[in-house]
């Protein structure tokens, strides 16, 4: 690639980052893909009365634990609240006074499952004991005591309870206790932020006072890798999750962009422009032992490792327009996997390795799509709601987080993999470039 073309790409990147959304270096195209609309889900009603305090306490707001669990379970796509929550609260009082559970009454309220809990909190500790019942049979599914929490960890406690419920009922590990990284300009600069999977506990972990972009989760899910302009070039950086330390990974002239970490191989896949062309390299987390994988006059970018670390999906316009390609970890056996549409980008591999989510240009806007790894069975997940970009998988493979400007400014949304349950998580200023963490414990 000629130098003027590389400089043009960097210029486009700066302009696009200034408005905070689409980060692709490729020109946009419009095409109608005519894909299949996903179906809905059948949800189960679970009743969760307010947890009973072991003794009167003002250290924890009444009902806060049950509300945390309710939100987690609704976001999971498996559960619904009962229609009349006030009756649920009153029933809990009657149950406690009578010393038994009236399952017929809970069935009348439409609940399939019932969670009853007690908690204790003081200035130094917090614990809770919960019991989950099958309302239809009246049998207890499980009972568990959650101990050794600090008073300010009530949200973590609620998320752990939620994940236990999902695991016991569905056999799938829940993701309530995972986190999402994203970029936001709410503090005056575009910094990397972290939030819980339900959208709460949002806080920045960088203080670059510049433009940051495209964060990804790194080694042991304790590090974040991202692009930063803090020294006026798009350099690749790393930061500890608690924000205590940051470092430069690569500082080559031109683009150092779009990192993807493989825990299996302990290597990063990145896009570098140091050769006068946008090419894909792999390296360790400190930028050492680098290996160039692509040798092409076209633009190669946006790499993403497969779960086993043996293949990489990436974007290239070598066929004349941006499309998704797959190659092995050494750069060989390259094949195109998107054979329809004129603009497909930002492919991300599912945790099971059987699907790829990506953004494609459709009816004048970017939308999120899903397909098999071989490029078959396309499903469009977003429709007629602005631009929807940069999908990232939850570690259970049941959800996607993505950016959307459907309400004006780009914000972070989550949805189930059939496209249902689309929920906005951020609401302040501009937020985009989200990345879902692996399981954190």
403-431 mean pLDDT: 95
Listed range (13-22, 86-95, 209-218, 338-347) with the worst mean pLDDT: 13-22
Q: Which is nearest to 179 in space by CA: 221, 234, 212, 148?
A: 221
Structure tokens at 301: 């970018």
Q: How much is the pLDDT for 2?
A: 36
pLDDT, position 86? 72
Q: For residue 408, is pLDDT > 80?
A: yes
Q: What is the pLDDT of residues 280-316, one digit of tens each?
A: 999 999 999 999 999 989 999 999 999 999 999 999 9
Which residue did the predictor score with more confidence, 212 or 40?
Answer: 212
List domains and CATH numbers for the chain: 3-30+178-436 (2.120.10.30), 44-170 (3.40.50.10070)
Instruction: Count Cβ atoms below 10 Å from residue 43 Cβ, excluding itself.
Output: 16
Phi, psi at 328, each rounded to 5°: -80, 175
Question: Which residues, in sequence order, are CB contacts of 237 under 8 Å at separation 6+?
Answer: 208, 225, 226, 227, 228, 230, 246, 247, 248, 249
Look at residue 40 in the predicted model and tell me its pLDDT: 52
Lowest mean pLDDT among 37-41, 81-85, 252-256: 37-41
pLDDT at 247 over 80: yes
Structure tokens at 401: 């987080």
Indicate if the pLDDT at residue 185 is higher than 50. yes
- The reported pLDDT for the residue numbered 43 is 82
Structure tokens at 441: 């414990």
| pLDDT band at 92; cut points 50, 70, 90 | low
Q: Is the pTM of this model over 0.85?
A: yes
Q: Quick one: 269 exposed, middle or buried, by C-beta within 10 A (0-12, 13-18, 19+)? A: buried
Whether residue 207 is predicted with pLDDT greater than 80 in this model: the reply is yes
- Residue-wise pLDDT for 2-57, tens only, equals 333 333 344 334 434 443 444 554 443 333 333 333 445 578 999 999 898 877 66
Render 88-99 in DSSP notation, one character per residue: HHHHHHHHHHHT
User: Got the DSSP string for 272-327?
Assistant: E-TTSS-EEEEE-TTS-S-EE----SS-EEEEEE-TTSSEEEEEE-TTSS-EEEEE
Distance, CA of 257 to CA of 17 (rounded, Å): 13
Chain-wide mean pLDDT for the chain? Answer: 88
Confidence of residue 428 (pLDDT cuts 50, 70, 90): confident
Q: Express each pLDDT in 302-311 by its tens digit.
A: 999 999 999 9
Where residue 95 falls (left for φ over 0; alpha for ψ -120 to 50; beta otherwise) is alpha
- Model confidence at 374: pLDDT above 90: yes
């Amino acid at each position: 690639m000629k130098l003027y073309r590389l400089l043009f790409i960097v210029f486009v990147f700066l302009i696009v980052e200034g408005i905070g959304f689409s980060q692709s270096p490729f020109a946009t195209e419009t095409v109608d893909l005519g894909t299949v609309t996903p179906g809905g889900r059948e949800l189960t009603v679970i009743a969760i009365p307010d947890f009973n305090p072991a003794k009167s306490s003002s250290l924890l707001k009444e009902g806060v634990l049950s509300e945390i669990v309710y939100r987690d379970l609704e976001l999971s796509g498996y559960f619904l609240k009962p229609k009349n929550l006030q009756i649920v609260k009153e029933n809990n009082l009657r149950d406690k006074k009578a010393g038994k559970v009236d399952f017929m009454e809970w069935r009348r309220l439409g609940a399939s499952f019932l969670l009853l809990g007690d908690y204790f909190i003081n200035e130094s500790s917090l614990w809770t004991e919960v019991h989950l019942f099958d309302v239809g049979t009246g049998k207890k599914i499980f009972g568990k005591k959650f101990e050794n929490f600090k008073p300010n960890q009530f949200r973590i406690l609620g998320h752990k309870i939620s994940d236990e419920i999902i695991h016991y009922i569905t056999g799938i590990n829940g993701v309530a206790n995972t986190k999402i990284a994203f970029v936001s300009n709410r503090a005056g600069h575009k910094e990397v932020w972290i939030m819980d999977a339900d959208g709460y506990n949002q806080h920045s972990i960088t203080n670059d006072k510049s433009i940051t972009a495209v964060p990804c989760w790194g080694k042991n899910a304790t590090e974040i890798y991202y692009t930063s302009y803090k020294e006026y070039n798009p350099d690749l950086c790393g930061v500890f999750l608690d924000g205590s330390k940051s470092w430069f990974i690569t500082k080559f002239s031109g683009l150092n962009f779009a990192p993807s970490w493989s825990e299996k191989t302990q290597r990063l896949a990145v896009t570098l422009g140091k050769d006068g062309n946008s090419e894909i390299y792999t390296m360790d987390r400190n930028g050492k032992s680098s290996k160039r994988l692509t040798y092409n006059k076209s633009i190669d970018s946006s790499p993403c490792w497969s779960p086993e670390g043996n293949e990489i999906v990436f974007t290239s316009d070598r066929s004349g327009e941006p499309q998704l390609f797959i190659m092995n970890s050494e750069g060989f056996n390259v094949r195109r996997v998107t054979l329809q549409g004129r603009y497909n980008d930002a492919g991300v591999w599912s945790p099971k390795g059987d699907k790829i989510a990506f953004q494609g240009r459709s009816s004048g806007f970017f939308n999120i799509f899903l397909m098999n790894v071989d490029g078959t069975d396309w499903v469009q997940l977003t429709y007629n709601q602005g631009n929807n970009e940069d999908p990232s998988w939850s570690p259970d493979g049941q959800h996607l987080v993505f950016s959307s400007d459907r309400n004006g400014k780009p914000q972070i949304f989550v949805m189930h993999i059939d496209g249902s349950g689309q929920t906005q998580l951020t609401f302040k200023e501009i937020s985009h470039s989200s990345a879902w963490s692996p399981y954190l414990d």
